[in-house]
């Protein structure tokens, strides 16, 4: 029984050399194509076998009641779940009446390639039908980064012996039958057959289906048109029913003859627009795509990606696996956001239905940092999506008895969908994470219009939340009680350090922004007294510290808790949350994921180097990494505290999370945060990049140091539209500004002013090699980056 | 619109003088009859109109899946809910084809009387049918305290004008249609039609139905037989279907003529016994009842209650309402337990389906204290019920990663049914409450067999839980983290004072018991080291105290929290849990119900008088009494700290909780804990009774002081089978031991040795009148005991 997928290690491509049905769902996630608006999982065009068929439109969801055995005030009543929309990928193939299905006949050859530069997913295969007919298949697929509503497939079938009668059935299919189902019958009901038919159409080579979701009332239209190229006698017919619209092309192929079908698919959806409006929208999009043609779409895709890579590429010399992994990661992160345009970035992007397609703080705290420095044009729209959900967040805060905005822990539309409040509602830090993303975006871009508009509103309303949530004690300290930080193995604590430091920054940023745009702030009702209150709260923010242990506390009293008995916890008891009750996790010293360690990365100037070292060692011994959000942050802080071997190991874990299916759930979709974390671990970690200072004083600093395995690491960050290339070698770093105004940066604390075209080189100071901290028994990271290069094959689950 | 019920104030009866349909469900609860095994709500015999039809058998429940939108390890999968079993109360009356229904025709007179000495619920009514026929109804009903399986009804109808053709339809009805339903369709399904027919029978004057619950697999049988007395020509027939078995009696009554039906009903149920076995059981019970006859059953009822009142009566001179209320309370508490016999005591007794018929800590901490001192023979069986659920509690502890037993927060069968773990699983104090009830029972009875058997096991397994749950910190203090105390507006705290003190006592009691019964303890695996570990944990138990405020802390850090903004909280925002999220309640200083104040009552020797005074004042200002469990405890500690007026007001609130429907949910059943609290407020409160010392050193102490309103308070407590009568007047107290060995007691700390037949009198020392503490704005208790006596009418919702 093979339980892993095999990928060749190549710098710019992910190549699958064998097809293993038992990891089909995982490979469908890995080979997903998306543009932030449309997501197509890497399902085979023939439809079956499949792991999880998936076609998604960002924002298209159904709602269902959330059940509570014991209800409570303020519990969200309605859940939202991403639904599988009309599948436009299907092109079934019949060879002499045998359906092309790998489970029958013989698969003689199979290769799939995802090319990060062309943006195409290609497949070649040779198959012999049960009665001995052999065909070669060559497909290419794209989800257009330039035509937002469009996806396209080029499908070629060649007869290897003949004559063969082949038929291609190109379809739009709604309400595909899905494997498994939810435990909750009411959720299963809305997920399994979510679309109500409104219109079905087929004519010539054109197909169309229009459906509507029942409860959320979203209208979804899909249209397709085709180009058919085949030998003489090739013919086609169409037909349609409520849930399927189909073009059937038939041809008789002599040996060596070929039938080619190019399929242009367009999607549109709306909660408001009428059926004719949405119909015309997809018809227009498909016509435009057809006039661009397959070659034109593919060329535009390549151009788009060339532009992206010219500014965003990370070069890694010395480890081919890592080189591939970081490009794979950046490609998928870009795909999740490129054309999201005021829609959310779900935790799994548009690659699967994991987490119901919800967006979390992952967006602002993991994905946006990467995009802010490499593709900032995608970030404004995402933050504008958050801003567009402000009415729901204001209402939620009101419902909770607070002021300002309480952004949802998990959502699609903006309404809170978290049904477990200790790890949802109480995780207020998402508000500061959003504010932090605003500040980072402004520091990187100087987008004045955003700063005066949505940015200011986001800062003001999140600051108001903190001011209402906290309180001054008798000694004047500002405490935030009853919140849950990033570490989900603690909940409802006093003064979560991460939350407090991020809230402090949020409050200060709002006060600065109000001062900077007094008129706009005034319109939001901010007066001097309110801003002074924010500054005051920030100044007096409690920062829990244990003098006894000489470390900061993850929350007040954290270090007084009983330590988890790690020695008595076997490997099969991880993740702990599946084997131990929350009550026991919450009351002990055990950390699911970087929390205080994340605070040290996010707020670098709030800790001395000695504190960072002591804190890192203390929390390292408690952190079990039961979350995919942890390894990359631990990589960053391991690097900063001088633990190069450890940083390397954590970097490898982040980089291979999905390629090696480390959490055993890549089938449900890719871990966007961990993909982003690959870049973070490289740039923040090995590059030692941090944003120091606040607001207009913010300056990028670097403190690079390579692990032994690497000979060179080079990356580019975009600052106010200018590309800063940082090239790190074992002993030297070269900073090169491509264009624009001179730029201040720091190298190990030394201030440099870079001018365009005048690279500056600096040495890498000798680094101490402090004693390595210990992890909980059995939880030390493994060095996964074996570094095979060239055409080696990397296999998951080793 | 009348929104209250009107009861006459009489010392030994509850008399309803008008029938108000809008409070029908409430009066059905108040007029419930039960014997701990069978419960019949005070529904009219004619079946309709009704508020909530209710016939219950202790332990007969159905199970249903507990839904979780986000599941977690250790969450109970299955809920249990008390079901409405076969209704044996129904005797429908037709007068010339007009069904007797108060909503039609004219009710000329109506009176219902619940007599606490006879144990009978009587009703007299005169009704004129829509076509002018008048009849007088006189019914009496009992649920036998001496024949556990039996209930009976005497129904008389007299024609006031005539001739009238009357028909009586005496029925057994299963799956009665219930008003409303649960929000959860799966719960509603099992509650609304819970019984599957197995057998239906009728012959002569005999009726029988046997049903079975579908998931819990409980077989429920009901049988009835009748005596008919009527004028010549009276005749009857029977008939039955799956869910109804019916005797129809018809007679033609001239004016003044009477038809009488005596109905004997028997119930039986079993999870194991066969249909014939259960059928024969109810046939036998009904035959025995019939041979005893109505008069015999009624006489035995009276005898049983005479015995009870001779040992348990509390006499109150000076306030007739209170006199009535305490007897009403004691009567219902007795009814809930009398023949429960190793079944639970639900929080609502068998008077309604509130809280799904679950038992909580209310049993051990509120109801058993009353029964231990007044009807101790009922207490052993209840504790043996807890003991019988040990296997489930041991398994639950194992599931939670603990040792010993984790008793369920809410249950019918012994399995945890709480679906909200922060206020369920985490409320571990129930384990100490059970241990405390064991110790109290042993102190009161000296039941050696219980001590060596179930008592020891309960103490040992609960002590093991605490030892596993807590931990020693670096300074040696024993902390219990992550628990929820009695106050449900806090959760998951460190060192809840009540929990810690009760756990300390639990640990010490187990260690003592193991020493006392070393052989029995050895068989439970207790060795010297384990017992030493318990003593050690007890010795070092953390007791949170705030030096700054000079008060104990409800939990570690409690006094550092932000105070709830009571001034901004309107009256309509209570109870707070319906208007504010848990997250906000949990993190602020706001107390739902006595918690630390309960600790001062339960562990009187752990606080100095000064500490009690300071603590009471501090927490009084934070306590909103959103629970019916609070007022009685506040009454006790108000009395002890010298606040006589306040004690009186809280006593009134506890005493009138159900009679005046103060929590607006008496319709769902009576609040057994608050009923018990009436006695507690009088005896522990005004009588100042406490059990001091531990184990064999335990001694009862009294520190009585009457409020101004009372001229005399007398009560009896049973100590090792001997009746100690305490008679309190404004200046003196008289202690009289009726029989038995000499008894040590304390009077205001002075040790007295009482001998049978030699009463001792002592003076009541002058009491200081300290400054009254303040309650949260709008939450001060109202003086409800207006003290009308004689035939005055007390009306709810004034």
Nearest Cβ partner for A419 among B69, B473, B482: B69
Instruction: Give the phi and the psi of residue A452 in degrees, each rounded to 5.
Output: -75, -25
Q: How far apart are CA B761 and CA B776, in angstroms?
A: 40
At B185 the pLDDT is 61
Q: Tell me which chain A residues have a C-beta less than 8 angstroms from the C-beta of B184.
A: 67, 69
* Sign of the CA dihedral with A631 first, then A632, A638, and A643 last: positive
Query: How many residues are present in chain A?
Result: 798
d(CA A503, CA A506): 5
Helix A672-680 × helix A320-337 angle, to 10°: 130
Contact B482 A586 (CB under 8 A): yes
Indicate whether A541 pLDDT > 60.
yes
Among B71, B479, B587, beta carbon nearest to A482: B587
Least confident window among A22-36, A477-491, B171-185: B171-185
State the nearest Cα–Cα gap between B586 and chain A, in angstroms. 7
| Close Cβ partners of A593 (under 8 Å, ≥ 6 residues apart) | A486, A487, A488, A623, A625, A626, A627, A629, A630, A633
Q: Do the beta carbons of residue A38 and residue A141 sit within 8 Å? A: no
pLDDT digits (tens, 9 = 90+) for A281-321: 999 999 999 999 999 999 999 999 999 999 999 999 999 99
Scanning every residue of chain B, which has its alpha carbon at the shortest distance from the alpha carbon of A473? B560
CA-based nearest distance A423→chain B, Å: 10
Judging contacts by C-beta atoms under 8 Å, the chain B residues touching residue A401 are 580-581, 584
Indicate if the pLDDT at residue A376 is higher than 50: yes
A484: nearest CA partner in chain B = B583
Known binding residue B593? Answer is yes
Report residue B723 CA to chain centroid gap.
24
Taking the C-alpha atoms of residue A43 and residue B470, their distance in angstroms, rounded to an integer, is 52
Cα–Cα dist A124/A222, whole Å: 27
Query: pLDDT for A214-233, tens place per residue?
Result: 999 999 999 999 999 999 99
Nearest-CA distance B69 → chain A (Å) = 6
Are A581 and B184 a contacting pair at CB < 8 A? no
A384-409: pLDDT as tens digits? 999 999 999 999 999 999 999 999 99
Separation CA B100–CA B123 (nearest Å): 14
> Which residues face A171 on adjacent strands?
A246
Contact partners, residue B664, CB within 8 Å, separation at least 6: none
pLDDT tens-digit profile of A578-607? 999 999 999 999 999 999 999 999 999 999
Written out in words, the top-level CATH class of the domain with range B31-311 is mainly beta
Contact A420 B72 (CB under 8 A): yes
State the nearest Cα–Cα gap between B479 and chain A, in angstroms. 9
Q: How far is B181 from chain A (nearest CA, A)?
A: 14
Indicate which residue of A10, A457, A488, A620 is catalytic: A488
Q: Across the strands, what pairs with A85?
A: none
Is there a contact between A580 and B401 if contact means CB atoms under 8 Å apart?
yes
Does residue A455 carry a pLDDT above 90? Answer: yes
Lowest mean pLDDT among A2-6, A469-473, B361-365: A2-6
For A55-94, how does the pLDDT look when each residue is reduced to its tens digit (9 = 90+)?
Answer: 999 999 999 999 888 889 999 999 999 999 999 999 999 9
Q: Mapping DSSP to helix (H, G, I), strand (E, B) and coil, where does residue B27 land?
A: helix
Across the A:B interface, residue pairs with CB atoms under 8 Å apart total 130
Quick one: pLDDT band at residue A767, thresholds 50, 70, 90?
confident
On chain B, the residues whose CB falls within 8 A of the CB of A560 are 473, 479, 494
Q: Residue A492 and residue B419: Cβ atoms within 8 Å?
A: no
Distance from the A32 Cα atom to the nearest Cα atom in chain B, whole angstroms: 27
* Cross-chain residue pair A583–B482, CB shorter than 8 Å: yes
A578, closest residue in chain B (CA to CA): B73
Phi, psi of A598, deg, nearest 5:
-65, -40
Written as six digits, the tokens of A462 are 């999140």
CB contact under 8 A, A68 and B419: yes
Partner-chain contact A583 B479, CB within 8 Å: no
Say how far apart CA B637 and CA B614 lie, in whole Å: 11
Whether the CB-CB separation of B653 and B702 falls below 8 Å is answered with no
Mutation site, A583, A584, A585, A589, interface B, largest B CB count within 10 A: A583
To the nearest whole angstrom, how far is the Cα of B493 from the nearest Cα of chain A?
Answer: 9
- HEC string of B407-444 equals CCCCECCCCCCCCCHHHCCCCCHHHHHHHHHHHHHHHH
Largest CA distance in chain A: 90
The pLDDT value recorded for residue A794 is 46
Residue B457 has which token pair?
């096991």
- Supply the DSSP symbol for B31: T
Among A69, A481, A578, whose Cβ lies nearest the Cβ of B562?
A481
Rounded alpha-carbon distances, angstroms, from residue A82 to A32, A36, A357, A413, B476: 16, 14, 5, 10, 52
Residue A33 has pLDDT above 60, yes or no: yes
Question: Tens of pLDDT along A114-153?
Answer: 999 999 999 999 999 999 999 999 999 999 999 999 999 9
B481 closest CB neighbour out of A184, A481, A561 = A561
| Residue positions counted in chain B | 798
Q: What is the ipTM of this complex?
A: 0.91
Averaged pLDDT in 10-residue chunks for chain B of 798 residues: 67 94 94 98 96 96 91 93 97 94 93 98 96 96 98 98 93 92 63 92 97 96 98 96 97 96 98 96 97 98 98 96 97 96 95 95 98 97 98 98 97 96 96 98 96 98 98 95 97 97 98 96 96 98 97 97 96 95 97 98 97 98 97 98 97 95 92 98 98 90 96 97 96 96 96 96 92 96 74 42
Ligand-binding site membership of B361 (annotated):
yes
Of A503, A479, A565, A493, the closest CA to residue A776 belongs to: A565
Taking the whole predicted model, whether its pTM rises above 0.90 is answered as yes
Contact B68 A67 (CB under 8 A): yes
The pLDDT of residue B6: 76
Closest C-alpha among B279, B283, B144 to residue B219: B279
Task: Cite the residue boundaries of each domain of chain B with CATH code 1.50.10.10.
Answer: 375-538
Partner residue opposite A578 with nearest CB, options B68, B73, B401: B73
User: Per residue in A663-705, pLDDT tens?
Assistant: 889 999 999 999 999 999 999 999 999 999 988 889 999 999 9
pLDDT digits (tens, 9 = 90+) for B53-69: 999 999 999 999 998 88
Report residue A797's pLDDT band, with 50, 70 and 90 as the boundaries: very low
Residues of B in Cβ contact (< 8 Å) with A400: 581, 583-584
Which CATH number is B375-538 given? Answer: 1.50.10.10
Q: Where are the alpha helices (DSSP H) in B230-378?
A: 275-312, 320-337, 362, 368-374
A42-60 average pLDDT score: 96
CA distance A515 to chain B (A): 30
Contact at CB, A474 and B561, closer than 8 angstroms: no
Mutation target among B425, B427, B482, B585 for the A interface, most CBs of A within 10 A? B482
**Residue in chain B lying closest to A581 (CA):** B73
Residue A630 has pLDDT above 60, yes or no: yes
Best of B583, B584, B586, B589 to mutate (most A CBs within 10 Å, chain A)? B583
CB contact under 8 A, A69 and B492: no
Task: Give residues with Cβ within 8 angstroms of B219, minimum separation 6.
Answer: B198, B210, B211, B212, B269, B270, B271, B273, B275, B278
CATH 2.70.98.40 residue ranges of chain B are 31-311
From chain A, the residues in CB contact with B419 under 8 A are 68-70
B548 contacts on A by Cβ (under 8 Å): 474
Best of A186, A398, A468, A587 to substitute, by most chain B Cβ atoms within 10 angstroms, is A587
Which residues lie closer than 8 Å to A5 by C-beta, 6 or more apart? A16, A20, A23, A26, A27, A30, A661, A795, A796
Name which CATH class applies to A375-415+424-619: mainly alpha
Name which of B69, B400, B556 is nearest A68 (Cβ-Cβ): B69
Q: Catalogue the active-site residues of B.
A: 488
pLDDT band at A191 (very low <50, low <70, confident <90, very high): confident
| Contacts B79 to A, Cβ<8 Å | 69
B69 contacts in A (CB within 8 Å)?
A: 66-68, 79, 184, 419-420
Is B583 in contact with A400 (Cβ distance < 8 A)? yes
Burial environment of residue B203 by CB neighbours within 10 A (0 to 12, 13 to 18, 19 or more): exposed
Q: Which CATH superfamily is domain B712-763 in?
A: Maltose phosphorylase, domain 3 (2.60.420.10)
**Comparing C-alpha atoms, which of A528, A42, A57 is closest to residue A282?**
A57
What is the C-alpha to C-alpha distance for residues A68 and A77, in angstroms, rounded to an integer?
A: 9
Residues of chain B within CATH 2.60.420.10 domain(s) are 712-763
Annotated binding site of A for substrate: 361-362, 592-593
Burial class (CB in 10 A: 0-12, 13-18, 19+), A798: exposed
Place of tokens 């105070």: B563
Contacting residues of A for B580, CB less than 8 Å apart:
73-74, 401
Instruction: Please give the DSSP secondary-structure letter assigned to residue A68.
Output: B
């Amino acid at each position: 029984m093979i339980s892993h997928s095999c990928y060749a290690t190549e710098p710019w491509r992910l190549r699958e050399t064998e097809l293993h049905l038992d990891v089909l769902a995982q490979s469908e996630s890995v080979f997903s194509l998306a543009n932030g608006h449309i997501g197509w999982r890497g399902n085979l065009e023939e439809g079956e076998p499949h792991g999880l068929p998936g076609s998604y439109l960002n924002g298209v969801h159904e709602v269902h009641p959330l059940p509570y055995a014991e209800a409570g005030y303020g519990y969200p009543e309605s859940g939202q779940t991403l639904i599988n929309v009309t599948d436009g990928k299907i092109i079934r193939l019949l060879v002499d009446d045998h359906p092309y299905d790998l489970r029958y006949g013989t698969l003689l050859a199979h290769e799939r390639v995802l090319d990060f530069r062309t943006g195409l997913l290609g497949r070649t295969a040779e198959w012999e039908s049960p009665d001995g007919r052999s065909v070669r298949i060559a497909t290419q697929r794209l989800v257009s980064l330039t035509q937002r509503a469009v996806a396209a497939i080029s499908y070629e079938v060649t007869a290897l012996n003949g004559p063969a009668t082949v038929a291609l059935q190109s379809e739009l299919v709604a309400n595909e039958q899905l494997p498994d189902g939810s435990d909750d019958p009411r959720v299963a009901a809305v997920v399994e057959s979510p679309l109500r038919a409104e219109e079905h159409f087929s004519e010539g080579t054109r197909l169309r289906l229009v459906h509507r979701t029942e409860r959320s009332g979203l209208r979804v239209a899909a249209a397709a048109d085709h180009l058919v190229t085949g030998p003489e006698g090739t013919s086609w017919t169409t037909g349609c029913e409520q849930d399927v619209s189909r073009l059937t092309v038939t041809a008789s192929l002599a040996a060596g003859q070929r039938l080619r079908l190019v399929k242009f698919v367009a999607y549109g959806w709306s909660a408001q627009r009428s059926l004719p409006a949405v119909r015309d929208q997809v018809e227009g999009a498909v016509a435009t795509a057809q006039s661009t043609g397959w070659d034109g779409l593919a060329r535009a895709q390549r151009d788009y990606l060339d532009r992206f890579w010219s500014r965003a590429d990370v070069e890694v010399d010395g480890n081919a696996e890592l080189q591939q992994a970081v490009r794979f990661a950046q490609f998928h992160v870009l795909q999740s956001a490129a054309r999201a345009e005021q829609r959310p970035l779900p935790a799994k992007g548009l690659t699967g239905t994991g987490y119901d397609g919800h967006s979390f703080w992952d967006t602002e705290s993991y994905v946006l940092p990467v995009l802010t420095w490499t593709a900032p044009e995608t970030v404004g729209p995402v933050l504008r999506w958050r801003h567009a959900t402000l009415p729901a967040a204001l209402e939620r805060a009101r419902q909770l008895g607070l002021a300002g905005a309480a952004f949802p822990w998990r959502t699609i539309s903006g309404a809170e969908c978290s049904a477990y409040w200790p790890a949802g509602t109480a995780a207020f830090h998402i508000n500061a994470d959003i504010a932090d993303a605003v500040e980072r975006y402004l520091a990187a871009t100087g987008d004045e219009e955003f700063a005066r508009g949505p940015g200011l509103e986001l800062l003001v309303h999140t600051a108001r939340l903190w001011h209402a949530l906290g309180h001054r004690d008798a000694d004047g300290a500002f405490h935030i009680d009853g919140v849950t930080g990033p570490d989900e193995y603690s909940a409802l604590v006093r003064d979560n350090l991460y939350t407090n430091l991020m809230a402090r920054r949020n409050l200060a940023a709002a006060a600065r922004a109000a001062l900077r745009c007094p008129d706009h702030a005034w319109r939001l009702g901010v007066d001097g007294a309110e801003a002074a209150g924010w500054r005051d709260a920030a100044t007096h923010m409690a920062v829990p510290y244990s003098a006894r242990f000489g470390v900061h506390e993850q929350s007040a009293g954290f270090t007084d808790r009983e330590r988890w008995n790690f020695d008595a916890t076997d490997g099969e008891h991880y993740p702990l949350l599946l084997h131990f009750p929350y009550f026991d996790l919450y009351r002990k010293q055990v950390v699911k994921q970087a929390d205080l360690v994340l605070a040290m990365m996010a707020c670098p100037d709030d800790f001395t180097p000695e504190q960072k070292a002591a804190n890192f060692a203390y929390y390292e011994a408690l952190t079990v990494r039961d979350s995919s959000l942890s390894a990359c942050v631990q990589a960053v802080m391991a690097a900063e505290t001088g633990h190069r071997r450890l940083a390397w190991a954590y970097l490898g874990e982040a980089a291979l999370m999905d390629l090696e299916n480390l959490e055993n759930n890549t089938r449900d979709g890719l871990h966007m945060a961990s993909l982003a974390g690959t870049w973070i671990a490289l740039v923040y970690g090995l590059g030692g990049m941090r944003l120091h200072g606040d607001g207009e004083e913010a300056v990028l600093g670097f403190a690079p140091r390579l692990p032994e395995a690497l000979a060179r690491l080079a990356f580019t960050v975009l600052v106010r539209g200018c590309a800063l290339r940082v090239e790190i070698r074992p002993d030297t770093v070269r900073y090169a500004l491509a264009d624009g105004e001179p730029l201040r940066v720091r190298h190990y604390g030394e201030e440099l002013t870079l001018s365009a075209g005048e690279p500056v080189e600096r040495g890498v100071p000798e680094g101490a090699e402090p004693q390595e901290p210990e992890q909980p028994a059995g939880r030390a990271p493994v060095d996964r980056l074996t570094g095979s290069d060239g055409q080696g094959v990397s296999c998951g689950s080793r």
